[in-house]
Amino acid sequence: MSDDHHDHPVPGTDWRDNGVKVIPGNSLDPNTAQTPGMNRATAINHARAGAEKIWAGTVTIHANAKTGAHHHGDLESIIYVVKGKARMRWGNNLEFVAEAGPGDFIYVPPFVPHQEINASRDETLECVLVRSGQEPVVVNLDIEPVEKPEEVLWKDPIHR
C-alpha cells in the first residue's frame, strides 16, 4: 500500500468548488466542432467542468440524415445510443457496416474513417458521446460515401 498523495484526497481542497459537477441537459454548448448532417453539443470539457482528460456531450442526427465521412485524429470515441437506430459505416472506403439501437455502445478507435447514419426515416437519433481528449478534433474526409448524404426537402401536400 503506497502512502503516495495520489491515493488520498488532497487535504484542504475546496470540494464545494472542485468536486462533483452537474451539467443540466438544457444548458449544453453547441459551440464545438461540427460535421455536416449532425449536431454536437458539449456537456463536459475543461472550460465547463474542469475535466482534464475527457470530453462528453450529445449528438443528434435528424431522421434519414447521413454525415459526411470523418475521423477524430488520435482520440478514442464512445457513442451510447439513447433513442433511435444508428448505422455506422467505416473503413478507407466506408465498406464496413454495423447497426446499434437504444442501450448499445459504439467504440470508434483513433483515426478510423467513419460515417454516422440515422437508419430511421422518421425518428431522430439521439446519442451521448464521450471522447478521450479535450481537443475538438474533427477531420472531415473527401471519401465518396457508400451511402451518400441526402437532403430531403419537405413539401406540404398542397404544394407538391
Provide φ and ψ at 144, rounded to 5°. Answer: -75, 110
116 touches 86 (CB < 8 A): yes
Which long-range contacts does 143-146 make (Cβ < 8 Å, 24+ apart)? 143/69, 143/92, 143/93, 143/94, 143/113, 144/93, 145/66, 145/68, 145/69, 145/89, 145/94, 145/115, 146/89, 146/93, 146/94, 146/95, 146/97, 146/115
pLDDT of residue 146: 64
Q: Which CATH class is domain 30-143?
A: mainly beta
pLDDT, one tens digit per residue, over 112-138 is 999 999 999 999 999 999 999 987 788
- Chain centroid to CA 8: 33
Span 143-158, pLDDT tens digits: 876 665 444 444 444 4
Domains of the chain by residue range: 30-143
pTM: 0.78
pLDDT of 10-52, one tens digit each? 788 888 887 888 888 888 888 877 777 778 889 999 988 889 9
